[in-house]
Amino acid sequence: MFDKILIANRGEIALRILRACKELGIATVAVHSTADADAMHVRLADESVCVGPPPSKDSYLNVPALLAACEITGADAVHPGYGFLSENARFAEILADHNLHFIGPKADHIRLMGDKIEAKKTAKKLGIPVVPGSDGAVAPDQDAMAIAKSIGFPVLVKAAAGGGGRGMKVAHTEADLALALTTAANEAKAAFGDASVYLEKYLQKPRHIEIQVLGDGRGGAIHLGERDCSLQRRHQKVWEEGPSPAIDAASRARIGSTVAKAMQQMKYLGVGTVEFLYEDGEFYFIEMNTRIQVEHPVTEMITGLDLVLEQIRIAAGGDLPLTQDEVTITGHSIECRVNAENPVTFRPSPGKILQYHPPGGLGVRIDSAVYQGYVIPPYYDSLVGKLIVHGKTRAECLMRLRRALDEMVVEGIETTLPLFRALVREPAIIDGDYHIHWLEQYLAGQQPG
Ligand code: MV4
């Protein structure tokens, strides 16, 4: 097991990792920018190192500074959290070159899943259902037109180096396709340095269903059920829940077993999330995330597993905590990401938190690193904290979420709390009857279809 872990992140996930380390009896090193000197994880860590000025590129992405921090403190492992360097294969390799452990998947798997075309080819080869589309990259020529016609319009042009919604263009007709291809390729070149694009059948109103997996790197892998992350705004998840109100036990077992077998064949190491679009009873693989995700607490609440603690144990060579038969999904969990943003315009609202009262009680969890008097800096994401609720049923979970949202107090900055207080009372949400475009249609004042 590791002796000292450097947490190469900030905010709530840095605190989350620190908690797991403390429970495992592992010493902790916090790194921070000059803007985060008063952050909670810095106060609670055994040691802390300032790695640079506020811009992420000069601090949390500053690899030489992070390596120096490991050298100075004698850390033997680095946990990257999510975002920042968490899916940077080169960083994982550099750590290995310095005899440091990267708490995450093998670098080759990070690199593989970072290329959306290679990821899809691998998924298909491993028996995971994928969206009908081109078999690899397409050039903006007749080739693409023929493929699009065989798929059937509308089609989606996606950037191989994209992901998370970046570099996507919809083409509804043949006339649209040529423009969509060149626009997507140009944008992909500019944004990712790679103009490769591929085609997929455009699914009109799917849900976003993601399967949590855990692999020991030696051929053992289990799945931990799904999370429904369909409620998103501009590709930012807002509300995540598990199990999905749209998935029955048979479908869950079917797709879960397919994914677990694929991870076994890959000899996948650590935590991972396999993302699907789900429409008319069918799952379609779109991407795989090789990191711990923001919404991991939903799975923790319904399985009883500490995913970050298991991630650390497995990175140190440990075994999986459960066999597949021992995995049980109990009850229902919903996570709301409370942001420091105006609840109508979503304009960021950084600043000092004058009053902070987190809700409590049975089945209510807050993953947050803020406190009364904390100043939310303008340099990073606007997450105040994640309100996670568990209940025996979805109905009980919604009732508890409604109560917890009404109890929560954050004064001094604007937050998205009012949005959640409205959503939890919205009939379609109460019925679990929504899709990936529902939230944006609701926010635009439309009657979501
Ligand atoms: C799609 C799609 C429809 N059809 N692919 C968005 C980000 C990345 N995860 C993939 N995304 C999508 N891929 C096909 N073939 C619609 C989306 C999409 C989306 C997916 C999940 C959650 C929210 C979304 C919002 C807009 C578009």
Model-level pTM? 0.97
Instruction: Compute the average pLDDT of residues 271-275.
Output: 98
Give the CA count within 13 Å in the CB-facing half-sphere of 381.
20
Nearest residue (by CA) to ligand 1, atom 23, is: 436
Asked if 132-201 and 207-443 have one fold, the answer is no
| Residue 291 known to be catalytic | yes
**In Å, what is the CA distance from 281 to each residue of 155, 207, 248, 264?**
20, 10, 10, 25
What's the pLDDT band for 98 if we cut at 50, 70, 90?
A: very high
Residue 164's nearest CA partner among 229, 260, 110 is: 229
Instruction: Compute the average pLDDT of residues 287-294.
Output: 97
What would the pLDDT profile of 219-260 be if each residue is shown by its tens digit?
A: 999 999 999 999 999 999 999 999 999 999 999 999 999 999
pLDDT of residue 83: 97
Is the pLDDT score of 163 beyond 80?
no
Least confident of 135-149, 168-182, 274-288: 135-149
Instruction: Compute the average pLDDT of residues 324-353.
Output: 97
Question: Other CB atoms closer than 10 Å to residue 167's CB: what's the count?
Answer: 27
Structure tokens at 100: 């440091």
What would the pLDDT profile of 179-190 be if each residue is shown by its tens digit?
A: 999 999 999 999
Nearest residue (by CA) to ligand 1, atom 21, is: 208
Cβ atoms 292, 307 nearer than 8 A: yes
Please give the single-letter amino acid code of residue 255: I
Structure tokens at 314: 């497995």
What's the pLDDT band for 404 if we cut at 50, 70, 90?
A: very high
Compute, in angstroms, the gap from residue 215 CA to the centroid of ligand 1: 26
Tokens 């059948």 label which residue? 201
What's the pLDDT band for 424 if we cut at 50, 70, 90?
A: very high
For Cα atoms 415, 416, 417, give the angle at the middle one, nearest 5 degrees: 90
pLDDT of residue 346: 96
For residue 91 and ligand 1, the question of a CB distance below 6 A is answered with no
For residue 287 and ligand 1, the question of a CB distance below 6 A is answered with yes
For Cα atoms 237, 440, 435, give the angle at the middle one, nearest 5 degrees: 70
pLDDT of residue 448: 86
Least confident of 6-10, 120-124, 190-194, 374-378: 190-194
Cβ atoms 174, 184 nearer than 8 A: no
Compute, in angstroms, the gap from residue 65 CA to the centroid of ligand 1: 36
Instruction: Compute the average pLDDT of residues 112-140.
Output: 94
Find the catalytic residue in 16, 207, 291, 313: 291
Cβ atoms 97, 66 nearer than 8 A: no
What's the pLDDT band for 143 if we cut at 50, 70, 90?
A: confident
Cβ atoms 224, 213 nearer than 8 A: yes
pLDDT of residue 447: 85
Question: Other CB atoms closer than 10 Å to residue 98's CB: what's the count?
Answer: 11
Question: Other CB atoms closer than 10 Å to residue 344's CB: what's the count?
Answer: 11
Q: Which atom of ligand 1 is nearest to the CA of 201?
A: 15
Q: Determine the Cα–Cα distance for residues 50 and 29; give it in Å rounded to an integer.
A: 11
Nearest residue (by CA) to ligand 1, atom 24, is: 436
Query: Which conformational region is residue 136 in: left (phi greater than 0), alpha (psi within -120 to 50 degrees), or beta?
Result: left
**Best mutation site among 232, 277, 443 for ligand 1 pocket (most ligand atoms within 8 Å of CB):** 277
Cβ atoms 70, 3 nearer than 8 A: no
pLDDT of residue 389: 99
Question: Other CB atoms closer than 10 Å to residue 68's CB: what's the count?
Answer: 13
Instruction: Compute the average pLDDT of residues 205-232.
Output: 98
What are the domain boundaries of the chain? 4-103, 132-201, 207-443
For residue 131 and ligand 1, the question of a CB distance below 6 A is answered with yes
Q: In degrees rounded to 5, what are phi and psi of residue 125?
A: -65, -30
Nearest residue (by CA) to ligand 1, atom 7, is: 165
Instruction: Compute the average pLDDT of residues 394-412.
Output: 98
Please give the single-letter amino acid code of residue 338: V
Compute, in angstroms, the gap from residue 165 CA to the centroid of ligand 1: 6
Q: Which atom of ligand 1 is nearest to the CA of 165?
A: 7
- The CATH H-level (homologous superfamily) assignment of domain 132-201 is ATP-grasp fold, A domain (3.30.1490.20)
Nearest residue (by CA) to ligand 1, atom 9, is: 164
Least confident of 181-190, 226-235, 311-320, 334-343: 181-190
Residue 395's nearest CA partner among 194, 229, 245 is: 245
For residue 210 and ligand 1, the question of a CB distance below 6 A is answered with no
What's the pLDDT band for 139 if we cut at 50, 70, 90?
A: confident
Q: Determine the Cα–Cα distance for residues 236 and 286; give it in Å rounded to an integer.
A: 16
Rounded to the nearest 10°, the torsion over CA 238, 242, 248, 251 is 90
Instruction: Compute the average pLDDT of residues 338-363.
Output: 97
Structure tokens at 6: 């450097």
What's the pLDDT band for 167 if we cut at 50, 70, 90?
A: confident
May I ask the CATH class of domain 4-103?
A: alpha beta
For residue 231 and ligand 1, the question of a CB distance below 6 A is answered with no
Cβ atoms 17, 29 nearer than 8 A: no
Strand-pairing partners, residue 322, are none
Q: Which atom of ligand 1 is nearest to the CA of 202?
A: 4
Q: Which atom of ligand 1 is nearest to the CA of 440?
A: 25
Q: Determine the Cα–Cα distance for residues 372 and 356; give it in Å rounded to an integer.
A: 5
Please give the single-letter amino acid code of residue 339: N
For residue 202 and ligand 1, the question of a CB distance below 6 A is answered with yes
Strand-pairing partners, residue 288, are 274
Instruction: Compute the average pLDDT of residues 20-47.
Output: 98
The fold of the 207-443 domain, in CATH, is: D-amino Acid Aminotransferase; Chain A, domain 1 (3.30.470)
| Edge-to-edge strands, sheet with 47-52 | 47-52, 27-33, 4-7, 77-79, 101-102
Is the pLDDT score of 164 beyond 80?
no
Least confident of 126-135, 148-157, 162-171, 303-312: 162-171
Please give the single-letter amino acid code of residue 406: D
Q: Determine the Cα–Cα distance for residues 73 and 447; give it in Å rounded to an integer.
A: 56
Q: Determine the Cα–Cα distance for residues 327 and 213; give it in Å rounded to an integer.
A: 12
Cβ atoms 245, 432 nearer than 8 A: yes
pLDDT of residue 165: 79
Q: In degrees rounded to 5, what are phi and psi of residue 272?
A: -160, 160
pLDDT of residue 337: 98
For residue 436 and ligand 1, the question of a CB distance below 6 A is answered with yes
